[in-house]
Amino acid sequence: MADSPNFIDYVKIFCRSGAGGKGSMHFHRDILTSKGGPDGGDGGRGGHIIVRGNVQMWTLLHLKYTKHVHAIEGTNGAGLRMTGADGPDIILDVPLGTVVKDAESEEILFEITENGQSEILMKGGHGGKGNWNYRTATNQSPTYVSPNGECKEGWVILELKVLADVGLVGFPNAGKSTLLSVISAAKPKIADYPFTTLIPNLGIVNYRDGKSFVVADIPGIIEGAHEGRGLGLRFLRHIERNAVLLFMVPADADDIKKQYEILVNELEMYNEELLDKPRLLAITKCDLIDDELKKLLKVDLPKKIPHVFISSVAQMGITELKDKLWKILNEA
């Protein structure tokens, strides 16, 4: 996944399902029968609006300019017990990791996490029953049909949260994109200035014996991100979908422990449940320090989180990092 203005992870659209067709009130008539029995058919069901997971998609771009989605109503029933046609369903394909919410209440309606998973967003109205259904021994000429079902409508929000096994968490320029480019075939944009990464980048890491796991490079977090500073809320949501969080702090940081604590605080203020995820701390850019300095740094590192010293550029500690991540993933 490359940096691109085509990465859209939030859309708001108005959806309306189709109303059901009307049931028919009809009595059989032909050349030989002037007053036959009831034969009014049922109306067809209105079209559903369905959301379906598609593993080939990674953005909501195709829905960015789709402000209204209207399904077609079912057709009316007719004589000779003819049932009206159902309105065709509208299927909205979305990437895995898409959360669908009611725009007014912000209630989560459902989440799409599997390829082919289909959920009815707006149910089409049922077709009305024709008068043929209401004939009885005592009422041979019913003039009653049941009402057709009405359409459902409302504004909904589709929000993409990137699905990955490991999420890279760190300040801008912590070395996240460089690490991803080294451990996977991903080609993220890399440069020495803040917010080089403007969209989440995904990479598949090949592990031992043909095993693999997915890593997501989340755009850099800054202090105050949970309040919307920097790229803030726009990208914190993507961390919610990662099984393991890899915190990354460069070895040349003024205070590694403080940087880590700021990152943890931003995640907690955004969603405290994120702190329930397993964590690993990677001290990056370790080609800049010697073994003696590493020993001094270890003294001040956070005590309750495992750590690893790495250098993506010099390929230092990368195998150990993969081993630790694989172990944590399997324990999780």
Q: Which of 19-28, 29-38, 219-228, 309-318 has the lowest mean pLDDT?
A: 219-228
Residues 42 and 141 in one domain: yes
Tell which residue, 118, 145, 157, 147, has the closest CA to residue 19: 147
Range of the domain at 142: 1-160
Same domain, 122 and 168: no
Please give the pLDDT value at position 233.
Answer: 52
Give the model's pLDDT for residue 189.
Answer: 47
Which of 137, 160, 183 is the last residue before a domain boundary? 160
Residue with tokens 């999420």: 167
pLDDT grade, residue 300 (50/70/90)?
confident
Do 141 and 177 lie in a common domain? no
Residue 222: what pLDDT? 60
Of 155, 154, 202, the closest CA to residue 176 belongs to 202
Q: Is 218 helix (H, G, I), strand (E, B) or coil?
A: coil
Distance (Å, whole) CA 10 – CA 236: 13
**Same domain, yes or no: 189 and 216:** yes
Q: Which of 115, 131, 160 is the last residue of a domain?
A: 160
Higher model confidence: residue 15 or residue 10?
Answer: 15
107 and 193 together in one domain: no
Looking at the fold, whether 229 and 133 belong to one and the same domain comes out as no
More confident residue, 159 or 221: 159
Give percent of the chain above pLDDT 70: 88
Lowest mean pLDDT among 133-137, 174-178, 206-210, 235-239: 235-239
CB 164 within 8 A of CB 241: yes
Closest among 228, 232, 226 to 265, alpha carbons compared: 226
CATH number of the domain where residue 23 is located: 2.70.210.12
CATH number (domain holding residue 180): 3.40.50.300
**Number of compact structural domains in the chain:** 2
What is the pLDDT, as a whole number, of residue 231? 47
Q: Are residues 148 and 224 in the same domain?
A: no
What is the reported pLDDT for 129?
Answer: 97
d(CA 56, CA 264): 33
Q: For position 188, what pLDDT does the model report?
A: 46
Claim to verify: residue 152 and residue 224 sit in the same structural domain = no
pLDDT band at 230 (very low <50, low <70, confident <90, very high): very low
Domain stops at, among 119, 137, 160: 160
CA–CA separation, 175 and 316 (whole Å): 13
What is the mean predicted confidence (pLDDT) over 121-146? 94
Residues 27 and 107 in one domain: yes
Instruction: Write down the pLDDT at residue 187.
Output: 59
State pLDDT tens for residues 146-176.
Answer: 999 999 999 999 998 877 899 998 888 778 8
Residue 33 Rama label (left phi>0; alpha psi -120 to 50; beta): beta
pLDDT at 83 over 70: yes
Count CB neighbours of 6 within 10 A. 12
- The answer to which of 78-82, 222-226, 263-267 has the lowest mean pLDDT is 222-226
Same domain, 55 and 203: no
How far apart are alpha carbons 66 and 155 in whole angstroms? 12
In this structure, the answer to whether residues 144 and 170 fall within a common structural domain is: no
Sheet of 212-217, strand order: 201-206, 212-217, 164-170, 242-250, 279-284, 307-309
Task: Using the Cα atoms of residue 24, residue 25, residue 30 and residue 33 in order, give the sign of their dihedral.
Answer: positive
Structure tokens at 254: 């003024």
The more confidently predicted of residues 237 and 181 is: 181
Q: Are 117 and 248 in the same domain?
A: no
Which amino acid, 64? K
- pLDDT at residue 30, rounded to an integer: 84
Per-residue model confidence as pLDDT tens digits over 244-286: 999 999 998 889 999 999 999 988 888 888 889 999 999 999 9
| φ and ψ at residue 216, rounded to 5 degrees | -115, 125
